[in-house]
Structure 1
């Protein structure tokens, strides 16, 4: 009984933390998102910080700002909440199959771009459909697809096994992410060779991998550097984009990331395009080949419409 109460409390703390991080204000999060009092919310956040052993927010007169530890924790908190919600909804659907059920997966940071129009397409055709949303990192989404936990996902072309199919949506360009006061930030564009000798940061080759193989994002970064003949190896690796941003700020390092990663930019970090032909990485719709869902077939038939109607794909 104690274990169950503790798990419920932890999920509640995570929801409170994400709400405050997104609102950037304890007052707004308490009144508009959580419908609780600010003093009560402040206590819950302090309890969470005590539990994890680190300050997650910097408090100021204009609100709150995530610390470096908070930015890393935010990615993980969103993944844990998404996984918990998916598990609960899956069980409820099995126990009470009253509505058509469909599970969508989105990469963290891409959900705000592709989710609204995707839901509109589904609900225009199937107004009574019950949709469950899972927001995770790309390798985790590939694993969830392979295991049949979700029906379709917006992700990279991961090596998730022979049963997965991918349909390309867009190619995303890479940019250079670096501290705002870095000397290279004074330039409008950056040459790839100018990165040589800098502290180079990258996503982990194994931390997010379920298959044991590097994630597609890491492979794309390494491939670009190799094609340019640049002998650059990461000084630090981290398993989420929030962590990369924190390392840029703390180590004054440089990273190559897809443009959508600007979603995670702290105030101290900026971006610049690469000179010449920029490398790209795919964003695809992934699904299991054996999935015979009529809803999946409907969504796949409307992918071109989806791409055309999402502005700037960013």
Structure 2
């Protein structure tokens, strides 16, 4: 196994199609890509993906391997960058954190702001859970983060950006996929994939409160640490998951979503920084990023 196998696998998983990955992302022949994926599965001794007429979906093993492959590729890029930095004079850095998945919506516009305000500063991007981002802010390891308004984040200043509704994730072939909206009765009959209190306290609090409002028990049947695992379990168990709207950006062809009927619960996305950081430049960046929410309204 080499890095090429990992890059190819991640490209296929994210595209949901061998053909699309080959033509649009990897610029290689589709038969060659298929052969590389079969070789990878043979080396691992298990099936990583399910190939069908509608595209490619990941098995439970494939979803686990995807998480690790992404980490390895990120570590390789980090090693390259660290090596380059070691060979050049030191320069200032700014560490920007994202609750995993929100990079799709926010990173391009934010990077334009960073280039305008910090043209000679190295911007380091981290993708973590919200509690880990809050911890990094409190410890001074992260300068600015997109995260939930964590209640146990002493010394962190939060600026609310958006409130987004929860949606229902389900297998594409699920019977509820025929509905335009999902009701409380629908949810009560299904296996629920959800998050634990320690890993995603804000989301768990919102879903628990929603269950209390509807008079149904939303204690998860399966607990997951992150959205990637939630999508994997939804696909493999046939259950459903209540997740923020941004999750729709990350769904493979085997998983779809529907809105909640009535008044859906919402969850925040906020900017956070350590109040001890009194840099006028930081305040300027926060102000400019906050303005983006109006442009998206």
The TM-score normalised by the length of structure 2 is: 0.80
Cα deviation for residue 15 of structure 1 reads 4.4
The residue aligned with 1:3 is: none
In 1, the alpha carbon distance for the partners of 2:177 and 2:18 equals: 33
> Structure 1 residue aligned with 2:94, among 97, 102, 106?
102
Q: Residues 101 and 130 of structure 1 are in contact (CA less than 8 Å); yes or no, is this contact kept in structure 2?
A: yes
Contact 2:196 2:204 in 1 (8 A): yes
Q: Tell me how far apart the structure 1 counterparts of residues 274 and 102 of structure 2 sit (CA, whole Å).
A: 21
> Which runs of structure 2 are paired with 1:6-25 in the superposition (5 Å)?
14-24=6-16
Q: Is the 8 A contact 2:57 2:252 kept in 1?
A: no
CA contact (8 A) 1:199 1:253 kept: yes
Gapped runs of 5+ residues in structure 1? 1-8
Map Cα deviations across residues 74-102 of structure 1 (whole Å, 9 max, x no partner). 34543565467568757976885643321
Q: Given the alignment, which residue of 174, 188, 192 partners 2:166?
A: 174
SS of match in other structure, 2:223? strand
Distance 1:175 1:35, change over 3 A: closer
Which position in structure 2 is the counterpart of 1:230?
216
Q: 1:112 aligns with which of 79, 104, 111?
A: 104
Q: Which whole-Å CA distance do the structure 1 matches of 2:136 and 2:43 have between them?
A: 29
1:132–1:308 CA distance, 2 compared to 1 (3 A): same
The alignment status of 1:128 with 2:120, answered yes or no, reads yes
1:78, 1:135 within 8 Å by CA — same for their partners in 2? no
Are 1:148 and 2:134 an aligned pair? no
TM-score normalised by the chain length of structure 1: 0.77
1:268-287 aligned at under 5 Å gives the runs 268-287=254-273
- Quickly say closer, same or farther: Cα 1:64–1:162, change in 2 above 3 A: same
- Indicate conservation of the 8 Å contact 1:86/1:132, yes or no: no
Q: Please name the residue that 1:73 is paired with.
A: 65
SS in 2 for 1:128: coil
Runs (5+) with no aligned partner, structure 2: none
- Any idea what SS the aligned residue of 1:131 has? strand
Q: Which residue of 1 aligns with 2:239?
A: 253
Aligned length: 297
Structure 2 residue aligned with 1:218:
204
Give the equivalent residue in structure 2 for 1:55: 47
| SS of corresponding position for 1:162 | coil
1:22-58 superposed Cα distances (whole Å, 9 cap, x missing partner): 3556687678767899899778766765676543234
1:128-179 CA-partner distances (Å, limit 9, x unpaired): 2321111223233223333333211111123453132211100010112223
Query: Alpha carbons of 1:73 and 1:165: their partners in 2 closer, same or farther (altered >3 Å)?
Result: farther
CA RMSD of aligned residues (A): 3.5
Is 1:297 the equivalent of 2:289?
Answer: no
Aligned-pair CA distance for 1:180:
3.4
SS in 1 for 2:181: coil
CA distance in 2: counterparts of 1:151 and 1:83, whole angstroms: 21
What do residues 214-238 of structure 1 show as CA deviations (whole Å, max 9, x unaligned)?
5322222122212322123211111
Q: CA deviation at 1:113?
A: 0.9
Residues 92-118 of structure 1, C-alpha deviations (whole Å, 9 max, x = no match): 768856433211111222102100111
> CA distance change for structure 1 residues 69 and 46 in 2, over 3 Å: closer, same or farther?
same
